[in-house]
Amino acid sequence: MNKVLRIDMENLSHKWENVKPEHQTYAGRAFTSITLSEEVDPTCHPLRAQNKIVVSPGLLAGTLAPSSGRMSVGAKSPLTGGIKEANAGGLTGTKLGSLGVRGIIIEGAPPDSEDWYSILVGKDKCEIIKTNDYAGLGLYELIGKIWKDYPTKPGIIGSGIAGQRLLKCAGVFGNNIENSDPGRYAGRGGLGAVFGSKRIVAIISDGTGGTRPAAKDQEKFDAARKVFVKSLNAHAVTGRLNDDKGEPFGGLKNYGTNVLLNILSEAGGLPTKGFSSGRFDKAAKISGEAVHDLVDRTKKKFGDKAEGKYAHSCHPGCVMACSNVVPYEDTGKMHVSPLEYESVWALGANLGISVLHDVAELNRLCNDLGLDTIEAGNTIAMFMEAGLIPYGDGPKSIELLKKAYDESSVEGKLVSSGTQTAGEALGVTRIPVVKGQALPAYDPRSIKGIGVTYATTPMGADHTAGYTVAAEILGIKGTVTDPRDLKKAELSQAFQATTAYIDSTGYCLFIAFCILDDDDGFNAMKDTVDSFLGQDIEVTSYGKDILRKEREFNKKAGFTEVDDRLPEFFRTEPLPPHNVVFDVPDEELDEVYKNM
Amino acid sequence: MNKVLRIDMENLSHKWENVKPEHQTYAGRAFTSITLSEEVDPTCHPLRAQNKIVVSPGLLAGTLAPSSGRMSVGAKSPLTGGIKEANAGGLTGTKLGSLGVRGIIIEGAPPDSEDWYSILVGKDKCEIIKTNDYAGLGLYELIGKIWKDYPTKPGIIGSGIAGQRLLKCAGVFGNNIENSDPGRYAGRGGLGAVFGSKRIVAIISDGTGGTRPAAKDQEKFDAARKVFVKSLNAHAVTGRLNDDKGEPFGGLKNYGTNVLLNILSEAGGLPTKGFSSGRFDKAAKISGEAVHDLVDRTKKKFGDKAEGKYAHSCHPGCVMACSNVVPYEDTGKMHVSPLEYESVWALGANLGISVLHDVAELNRLCNDLGLDTIEAGNTIAMFMEAGLIPYGDGPKSIELLKKAYDESSVEGKLVSSGTQTAGEALGVTRIPVVKGQALPAYDPRSIKGIGVTYATTPMGADHTAGYTVAAEILGIKGTVTDPRDLKKAELSQAFQATTAYIDSTGYCLFIAFCILDDDDGFNAMKDTVDSFLGQDIEVTSYGKDILRKEREFNKKAGFTEVDDRLPEFFRTEPLPPHNVVFDVPDEELDEVYKNM
């Protein structure tokens, strides 16, 4: 895996380059962030020609290492104004990995072009194709069309309607493994709009002729990956507990990430109705358990015709299978896939919506429009906060989101433009963003460590950037850290550094549940990486290197410690039911990156 | 003039304080900026309780010094996120001056209040009055109502519909001297929204019982002010040239500030159709000359019933009288007052609108809604840039702006929320703002010095913060500085420092035309200030002190040199007809505040 595809959209040309010697160990987030920090002017306008898009499969993508096929998309973010990496499963990571492509760097923009393009990447080939017929389509239709045009079922990533219109809620969509649902989002940071700014609808990765990437020490690699599979399968969160009975496996397989909804609500840390409570009294109705029951119900009713599913993998080779396919109650056909915890929260609890169908429909619309669900849900909440829609009104929320299809609708544009822009446009002062990016599904007043991550990660508010919740709420690593304890700089830093490493390997972040608990699992995971590269990579220092570069980029972009803060209302408004505020001192926040 | 009124909106109380000994020489902008820098947390949310509003009449307001009755409004700006001073004429400056009020400091906000308040300031008295009947009114109606409730015709400043809804286009309105037009705006920075956040509709200053402030050396003061009047009257821009014939006076008196429209268009520096050209081929139709002709035409037609006027003073005692009353062509009745250059540009040339009536109507709507015309015009331009309204379409622009009355209209809110928010919501990448505030009526590509001011002033893009155009285009001070010359740091710094001084004295900035040309005028002006205070004030160092404090506030608020830049497109898109880009090096920009 040593080729870099460099594409110039100004003159629609491309060239193949070798991976630079000093970049040999970089893939995924390491590759996107370090390339951006070396090549992009941090002060450039994120939606004009100077910005670049960097796509990179994780280091092990395409290998047989379990759950290692994820990929990173990076650019200067139009949402945060800083460096951004967004990470997703789907098919593209493994396809690019098997094609030997370490990264795709997309520069420039067609000057004054009315045309739209797609990029076809195959075995030793690249075509930049004018695809005006792909533009402006809903993404279900687009993926169906591309899979018809390219019957090899390629991986697809790109921008939907929102991104093509340069709106900052836009994520980078990816296609599901086996259906036409655009359910694999490198969602955050508005990177879909960067695709739009370069007039790119899709990057189509055709894996035909690809081969499995070889490890430097293949024997060690194969041994390690087998141990690691065993470790993942044995863990209560990631594993297949009752495999012998041929039925329900681990927590993620049964209930998906949405297993968290009831847990967080119980803990008083589930942001509800625009971050006004930490508990949603109707959480059970839209929980992972409720989805599980719906799938079972429709299976019973519709038999083989039922499309609902849990234990669904987001990318080839994922053994954790936390994804799902949510069926319509009345037909058993697929409604949306997946319906994850963050999306259920953003489009459900945070809006006070407890009708599972409505939440699934909002998610389906986001997927079709090319919107990040976390950002979109928070944006809809701004309309509620402003009194334009009542909290809890699913049908009105759906109606609002549907306006986003209409290019002449100002409401449709605003609901696609992100939480901060919408909040400010509507006169809201309780806008839950850090660095312009909306907060995810954990209230930082109840769970201080995740607040420290939200505030300090270079990514803008992002739970995946340093998921301290694992230690604070889920009791991973045996001992639970008190979520109310204020000394969280060290914890957050450790999670942020490890995450930067994992996001570079191609492994899904959820392997953390297992490797934090099981030293054998951790060592096996590390052995896969080290044997693949043929060198010993120190996890934390590798991660810190990436964080330092990202941080430096943001500093040059104009960020200061003032940007490492939560919005004022988290410090002044107590959160029911425990009536807590975010009281981590600024000094503790600044500690995370001090002397890193 | 040594009392400070401190109002706490949390518990609706007030107290009178003495001016601190170290603040004795501070009034106007010096008072607002230094009070803010001492009392307000620069990182606070501008529209929540921690922000403060500071109102201060200029030092000489209420005296007989000519054109010295202006006042400053300061707060942390919701538009820029930095410190802000906005400056206006009207009645309030002189009323407060004569009441001996150096400043009003408004803190806190009523918790969860649905009520609206107004503050009545009189001779040694203050009342905080519940005025729910004042809220939600158009400002023409509001001023009429207040002048009915308070027949002494008090000065009034406050927030209109936009500010009450916390929207960032909102200026602080003030009433005209003699009619009900809310034409005196401390327009910039969205400070009207800060009034709204504190649930304040109006500050009503009743001058009854007030006295003329006494100078420390009254004799010297009186002598100096007479010399200064003479100097102002003798200057071609500010003066009464043909007084002996009892007719047309100086340039400002004949054509108002809008004398500039044709001049700037000729110079290729008039931003046209969203900063896409420096020349507007229909400038003559909406120029100061056109307004002059309209006034003359309607006078001739309607005689005594004609309300149109030029040579109209914005505050009592102004001898320059650059304001006007624009009549309806068909009735001769007042349409709007004033119609200034900046407004004609923002709502006319920048939108490609050349129908004078439409421009006047847009301005009247802004005045009624409580919107800053510069920000509102640039915001409407974002709708045009996004293709939602064609450039040049007056009626559609009027229709859009009228939606701002409707609290349920998302378009109405967006058009009231400022250029950056609207631009980002609509997917525009050519957003002409610095520090979040829209650019005024001089294209920085053609006139580099004003670009240096836009970029570096702590105020966000603001021509009045350092009006180098006087030297670059208008030939003030005899020798013209080439507008294309790139060495402009020193020029901008000098203008910025002098401006900070003038904005503190109560003098209108336009005295600069005269005092830059006429040393006697300058000395007389300085003598009025020095004799009033009884001490020698060095103009530049006084101004620099203020700038340093403002700059320091912004630094603590998170600003870096990256915020001292123009938007990218000014550096990359050549401006017709001269096809120039903004090419002042970053180092030159940073020079302005280096070692200040």
Report A:129-168 residues touching B (Cβ under 8 A). 165-168
At B28, the pLDDT band (50, 70, 90 cuts) reads: very high
Q: Over chain A, what is the mean pLDDT? A: 96
Show residues of chain B in contact with A43, CB under 8 Å. Answer: 562, 565
Show residues of chain B in contact with A168, CB under 8 Å. Answer: 424
Nearest to A568 among B48, B411, B427 (CB): B48
Give pLDDT tens digits for B419-466. 999 999 999 999 999 999 999 999 999 999 999 999 999 999 999 999
Residues 6 or more apart whose CB falls under 8 angstroms from that of A141 comprise: none
- Contact (CB<8Å) B410/A424: no
d(CA A492, CA A511): 18
Say if residue A477's pLDDT is above 80: no
Q: What's the farthest any 2 CA atoms get from each other in chain A?
A: 62
Give pLDDT tens digits for A360-379. 999 999 999 999 999 999 99
Q: What is the mean pLDDT of residues A123-145?
A: 97
d(CA A515, CA A328): 36
The whole-number pLDDT of residue B199 equals 98
The whole-number pLDDT of residue B475 equals 82
B399 touches chain A (CB under 8 A): no
Give pLDDT tens digits for A406-455. 999 999 999 999 999 999 999 999 999 999 999 999 999 999 999 999 99
At B18, the pLDDT band (50, 70, 90 cuts) reads: very high
Nearest-CA distance A459 → chain B (Å): 18
Q: Which residue of A has its CA nearest to B429?
A: A47
Cβ atoms < 10 Å from Cβ of B352? 22
Quick one: tokens of B554?
């912004």
Q: What is the mean pLDDT of residues A44-69?
A: 98
Q: What is the mean pLDDT of residues B6-18?
A: 98
In contact, B208 and B186? CB cutoff 8 Å? no
A44 touches chain B (CB under 8 A): yes
Q: What percent of chain B has pLDDT over 70?
A: 98
Show residues of chain A in contact with B561, CB under 8 Å. Answer: 558
Helix (H, G, I), strand (E, B) or coil at B369: helix
Q: What is the mean pLDDT of residues A251-274?
A: 95
Q: Which CATH superfamily is domain A3-205 in?
A: Aldehyde ferredoxin oxidoreductase, N-terminal domain (3.60.9.10)
Amino acid at site A288:
G
Tokens 């942001």 appear where? Answer: A271
Instruction: Give the residue among A53, A55, A4 at the shortest CA–CA distance from A506.
Output: A55
Alpha helices (H) along A275-348: 288-302, 341-347
pTM: 0.97
The whole-number pLDDT of residue A475 equals 81
Nearest-CA distance A485 → chain B (Å): 25
At A113, the pLDDT band (50, 70, 90 cuts) reads: confident
Q: What is the mean pLDDT of residues A324-344?
A: 97
Cβ atoms < 10 Å from Cβ of A378? 32
Q: Which residue of A has its CA nearest to B418?
A: A425
Show residues of chain A in contact with B411, CB under 8 Å. Answer: 410-411
The whole-number pLDDT of residue A239 equals 83
Q: What is chain B's alpha carbon radius of gyration, rounded to the nearest angstrom?
A: 22
d(CA A214, CA A534): 11
What distance, in Å, lies between the first and last C-alpha atoms of chain B? 31
B76 touches chain A (CB under 8 A): no
d(CA A314, CA A91): 8
d(CA A473, CA A263): 8
The whole-number pLDDT of residue B244 equals 59
Q: What is the mean pLDDT of residues B504-529?
A: 95
Say if residue B181's pLDDT is above 90: no
Q: Which residue of B has its CA nearest to A568?
A: B45
ipTM above 0.90, yes or no: yes
Show residues of chain B in contact with A197, CB under 8 Å. Answer: 429
In contact, A192 and A404? CB cutoff 8 Å? no
A557 touches chain B (CB under 8 A): yes
Say if residue A248's pLDDT is above 60: no
At A595, the pLDDT band (50, 70, 90 cuts) reads: confident
The whole-number pLDDT of residue B491 equals 95
Q: Where are the domains of chain A?
A: 3-205
Q: What is the mean pLDDT of residues B135-146?
A: 97
- Contact (CB<8Å) B425/A410: yes
The whole-number pLDDT of residue A122 equals 97
Across-strand partners of A445? none
Say if residue B314's pLDDT is above 80: yes
Say if residue B395's pLDDT is above 90: yes
